[in-house]
Amino acid sequence: MPESTLVPAAQKCIALVAHDNKKSDLMEWAAFNLGVLQNNMLLATGTTGRMLQRELQLPVTCLLSGPLGGDMQVGARIAEGSVDLLVFFWDPLEPQPHDPDVKALLRMAVVWNIPMACNRATADFLISSPLLLSAYKRRVPDYSARRP
């Protein structure tokens, strides 16, 4: 039976990740949504986070760069329950040396039922959802039978 976790109405933790070829798209999207983003807690992989800090003066908790373990750090935060939304502009046409980490991050978002946008259109829908501004009862699957 799935359990529920109450995601508070106040600030959400939004994780932001972008592959190199998608960083400019994420920066444009973030600039357009600056008002919403600055009212939430932001977490990002290294280079993306530093770009958000530098170009948009946003307070961002920066993790490692994706290829150096940042994707895995975001995935761990999702598993710990500290991420409410993942915006990951990934490049499906460019081979990534850390592709297993990318797939693991996407998998963690699905496993823990975290809203996730992998392109700008989906990110637009999620960031403009009234659920972002309200408390939300997110269903979390019960994996207790799978634990040792």
Residue 60, domain CATH: 3.40.50.1380
CB neighbours of residue 29 within 10 Å: 22
Cβ proximity of 138 and 108 under 8 Å: no
CA–CA dist 17, 114 (Å, integer):
15
Active site residue 124: no
> For 1-148, where are the alpha helices, taking DSSP H only?
23-32, 34-37, 46-56, 70-80, 99-111, 120-127
Average pLDDT, the chain: 91
Cβ proximity of 67 and 97 under 8 Å: yes
Q: Per-residue pLDDT averaged across 101-127, rounded?
A: 95
CA–CA dist 86, 43 (Å, integer):
9
Q: 88: domain range? A: 3-146
- pLDDT category, 146, cuts 50, 70, 90? confident
Query: Could you tell me which residue, 116 or 134, shows the higher pLDDT?
Result: 116
Count: domains in the chain: 1
Q: Per-residue pLDDT averaged across 35-54, rounded?
A: 96
Determine which one of 25, 71, 124, 142 is catalytic: 71
- pLDDT category, 1, cuts 50, 70, 90? very low
CB neighbours of residue 103 within 10 Å: 13
